Amino acid sequence: MTICHFFLQGRCRFGERCWNEHPRGGGRSGPAAPPSQGTGRGGWGAHNQRYTNVVQPSNFSKPTTWGGSRDDGKAFFGPSVDYGATGSGNKSSGFSQNRFSALSSEQNIGNSYRDEEEKLLEGIIKDMEVWESSGQWMFSCYSPMKEKPNISGFPDFSPEELHLEYYNCRANNNIQNYINSVQQLVNQWRNRLLELKTLNTSTKAALVSELKNVVSQPLPTFGFGGQQTSTFGSSGFPLSSSSNRSASNSSFKSNTELVSASSGSTTAFGSSSMVPDPSALGVTSSSRSATSIGFGSQSASSAASFSFKKPETAGSFGASGFSGFGGSSAVNLSSTTSLPAFGAVNAAVAAPASESGNSLFGQSVSAFGYNVAPAPPAATSIVTSDKLFTPKTDLSPEELKQFEAKKFTLGKIPLKPPPIELLNV
């Protein structure tokens, strides 16, 4: 059969349906969407035509995470449509460059699937570049791919929160305070961005282990989603500027605690997956936590809301210390052993039940807690602690009763982890 010369250029529109031969090993054609999928490859066809002489295979060095040559049908973020008739030339051209890059280097021949990690890292680099140059909102969390947890070091603040802070500061006549805090946040962001853009080995290792920690393990009794990402020193602790010092001290403490804890912990709760390279993370987090600064506005509720550590001497740690879908704030650890019970119960479910008394999830908590399947991959962020199990003596009689019962009753779910004696694994 005739060799499809469009395929050689990487732009065969018929893909698998093409009646000409597509030589394998001559490079893979970029567009992995067979027509029957009918994915929204928008201006794809139109833009193909514009490429007359552009695509020289040797030009491209690395594939990226976008599409690439993976035919597994799972495109990242679903098919990404590039809307806009006229001006989208740029973006889709950028797109097509990336698609074709699979064609490119000889590295790909015979090795269609690059290492997933490397793809992720490259994707991260690209995203960082775009983020830096595009003028988009800085204080946003980031995750390289749909299933992955948020990368640490990017706290999430909405424009409204900053807006409100400004108004509050203006009312108190200390706008300078606001400006300083924002400046520090910006610097923090920029540093983290640069770190990620120019990945050296230690950040790479940290990142990779962070991203890998999203492992779903069915845990015996409590059915945790098993997702733990140890984002040490993550998500800038929002502190009022005055309490900066003490906060960073305690965050240091928590890191070391965590590090030692994780090395010593048992694996019953799959917590071993939590042990990233401590030294690397210790290093990166230490560099970050010293400069973390944020707004203390959302603090008061931390007592009630389970997901934070209890307010410390530094007061307001509130808000963004917690990445809901798997990022865990190491900050959580620095409090007493009662808090590590965080790991005991499916975080978002039961805790408020005991606190506020009327948090219902429509079905019994145990159903939610015991079901591994519906728990989304990164649902619970389990923070290890120095102790995973409380000794029986530490539990109050009511908690003991709860643990011994078959099911937890809503409103009485204990905050501490269960005693090891009661576990049947």
Partner 1 sequence: MRGEKRPVPARPCVSRRCLCRCPTRFRPALLPKRAPRLALPHKQPRSPALGAKMSLFGSTSGFGAGGTSMFGNTATDNHNPMKDIEVTSPPDDSIGCLAFSPLALPGNFLIAGSWANDVRCWEVQDNGQTIPKAQQMHTGPVLDVCWSDDGSKVFTASCDKTAKMWDLNSNQAIQIAQHEAPVKTIHWIKAPNYSCVMTGSWDKTLKFWDTRSPTPMMTLQLPERCYCADVVHPMAVVATAERGLIVYQLENQPSEFRRIESPLKHQHRCVAIFKDKVNKPTGFALGSIEGRVAIHYINPPNPAKDNFTFKCHRSNGTNTSAPQDIYAVNGIAFHPAHGTLATVGSDGRFSFWDKDARTKLKTSEQLDQPISACCFNHNGNIFAYASSYDWSKGHEFYNPQKKNYIFLRNAAEELKPRNKK
User: Where in 320-359 is the site for partner 1 (CB under 8 A)?
Assistant: 320, 322-325, 327, 347-349, 351-352, 356, 358-359
Site string for partner 1, 229-248 (x = CB under 8 A): ------x-------------
Q: In angstroms, rounded to a whole number, what is the distance separating the alpha carbons of residues 177 and 185?
A: 12
Q: Would you list the DSSP string of 296-321?
A: GGG-GGGGTSTTSPPPBTTB---GGG
Beta-bridge mates of residue 16: none
Residue closer to partner 1 by CB (options 42, 418) is 42
Site for partner 1 in 35-54 (CB under 8 A): 35, 37-46, 48-49
Q: Would you list the DSSP string of 366-415?
A: HHHHH-SSSS-TT---PPP-S-SS--GGGS-HHHHHHHHSSSPPTT---S
- From the list 371, 115, 423, 128, the residue with the least C-alpha distance to 267 is 423
Site string for partner 1, 193-222 (x = CB under 8 A): ------------------------------
Q: How far is the CB of 424 from partner 1 (least distance, A)?
A: 28
Site for partner 1 in 174-193 (CB under 8 A): 175, 178-179, 182
370 is an interface residue for partner 1 by CB under 8 A: no
Query: Would you say 230 and 151 are in contact if contact means Cβ atoms under 8 Å apart?
Result: no
Residue closer to partner 1 by CB (options 167, 401) is 167
17 is an interface residue for partner 1 by CB under 8 A: yes
Residue 235 half-sphere exposure toward CB, CA atoms < 13 A: 30
Tell me the site size for partner 1, rule CB under 8 A: 109
Q: In angstroms, rounded to a whole number, what is the distance separating the alpha carbons of residues 28 and 7?
A: 8
| Range in contact with partner 1 (rule: CB under 8 A) among 189-197, 205-213, 296-304, 384-392 | 296-304
Site for partner 1 in 145-164 (CB under 8 A): 145-147, 150, 156, 158-164
Residue closer to partner 1 by CB (options 181, 265) is 181
Radius of gyration of the chain (CA): 25
Q: How far is the CB of 177 from partner 1 (least distance, A)?
A: 12
Residue closer to partner 1 by CB (options 265, 359) is 359
Site for partner 1 in 96-135 (CB under 8 A): 127, 129-130, 133-135
Q: In angstroms, rounded to a whole number, what is the distance separating the alpha carbons of residues 301 and 319?
A: 9
How many other C-beta atoms lie within 10 A of the C-beta of residue 61?
Answer: 10
Q: In angstroms, rounded to a whole number, what is the distance separating the alpha carbons of residues 173 and 143?
A: 37
Q: How far is the CB of 396 from partner 1 (least distance, A)?
A: 22
Residue closer to partner 1 by CB (options 233, 327) is 327
Q: How far is CA 38 from the centre of its chain?
A: 30
Beta-bridge mates of residue 229: 327
Q: How far is the CB of 57 from partner 1 (least distance, A)?
A: 19
Single residue of 222, 224, 306, 342 touching partner 1 by CB under 8 A = 306
